[in-house]
């Protein structure tokens, strides 16, 4: 594959996932990822800070989409209605190639403590972005934090369902379904 071909970032993600699945996360070097993608180590570092970050590409964009989705909700929207709008905004950005590599991504993350830690950090960052946007709308704590946590939990659940090859619903549909399930679970707590 020529070095000038487009989609270097996607190629690096797929190469990393393939190598992590084949050899394990710890046994895979950045140089191997770049070579598998048909790129140079320098190109890898133009896109990612380290090999861990290759699996969490797009976190900043997802956080911004969630925050923008909350901000775009109607003024009279409840906190969970604003969260639903945020989920719609974020999940609509996912493309088929992300679904294709999803099962490998979840397996690699689950099998490596360093990656599980990074996934927890990503979760916290997404919650923080959404909670901040809710507070900007005037939603007080702890309501803003709880609504944001429920939203990101729904996002994570929907993603895990969406990457299942047997799934027939879209990611936005699954996110709305997961949010409804969590809302029902909250109601059952009282």
Considering the domain architecture, whether residues 81 and 159 belong to the same structural domain is answered as yes
Asked if 167 and 174 touch (Cβ cutoff 8 Å), the reply is yes
Residue 120: inside a domain:
yes
d(C-alpha 6, C-alpha 149), whole Å: 36
Total number of domains in the chain: 2
Domain span at residue 107 reads 58-188
Which residue in this structure is represented by tokens 């939203």? 151
Length of the chain, please?
Answer: 190
* pLDDT tens readout for residues 31-79: 999 999 999 999 999 999 999 999 998 889 999 999 999 999 999 999 9
Asked if 131 and 76 touch (Cβ cutoff 8 Å), the reply is no
Considering the domain architecture, whether residues 31 and 75 belong to the same structural domain is answered as no
Cα radius of gyration (the chain):
18
- pLDDT given for residue 6 in this prediction: 73
Predicted TM-score (pTM) of the model is: 0.90
- pLDDT given for residue 5 in this prediction: 57
d(C-alpha 9, C-alpha 54), whole Å: 9
Residue 3: inside a domain:
no
d(C-alpha 106, C-alpha 129), whole Å: 23
Q: What is the mean pLDDT of residues 87-95?
A: 95
* pLDDT tens readout for residues 98-115: 899 899 999 999 999 999
Collapsing DSSP to helix, strand or coil, 76 comes out as coil
Considering the domain architecture, whether residues 29 and 86 belong to the same structural domain is answered as no
Considering the domain architecture, whether residues 132 and 175 belong to the same structural domain is answered as yes
- Report the CATH number at residue 148: 1.10.357.10
Residue 102: inside a domain:
yes
Asked if 15 and 33 touch (Cβ cutoff 8 Å), the reply is yes
* pLDDT tens readout for residues 124-177: 999 999 999 999 999 999 999 999 999 999 999 999 999 999 999 999 999 999
- pLDDT given for residue 1 in this prediction: 45
Considering the domain architecture, whether residues 147 and 67 belong to the same structural domain is answered as yes
- Report the CATH number at residue 26: 1.10.10.60
How buried is 150 (Cβ within 10 angstroms: 0-12 exposed, 13-18 middle, 19+ buried)?
buried
Residue 43: inside a domain:
yes
């Amino acid at each position: 594959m020529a070095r000038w071909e487009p989609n270097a970032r996607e190629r690096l993600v797929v190469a990393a996932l393939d190598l992590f699945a084949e050899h394990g996360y710890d046994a895979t070097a950045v140089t191997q990822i770049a070579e598998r993608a048909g790129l140079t180590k320098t190109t890898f570092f133009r896109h990612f800070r380290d090999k861990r970050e290759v699996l969490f590409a797009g976190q900043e964009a997802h956080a911004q989409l969630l925050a923008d989705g909350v901000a775009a909700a109607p003024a009279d929207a409840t906190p969970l209605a604003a969260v639903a709008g945020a989920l719609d905004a974020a999940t609509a950005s996912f493309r088929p190639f992300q679904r294709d590599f999803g099962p490998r991504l979840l397996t690699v993350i689950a099998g490596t403590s360093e990656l599980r830690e990074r996934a927890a950090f990503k979760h916290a960052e997404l919650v923080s972005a959404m909670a901040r946007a809710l507070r900007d709308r005037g939603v007080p704590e702890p309501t803003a934090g709880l609504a944001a946590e429920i939203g990101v939990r729904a996002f994570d659940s929907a993603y895990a369902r969406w990457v299942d090859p047997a799934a027939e619903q879209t990611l936005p549909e699954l996110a709305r379904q997961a949010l409804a399930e969590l809302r029902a679970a909250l109601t059952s707590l009282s």
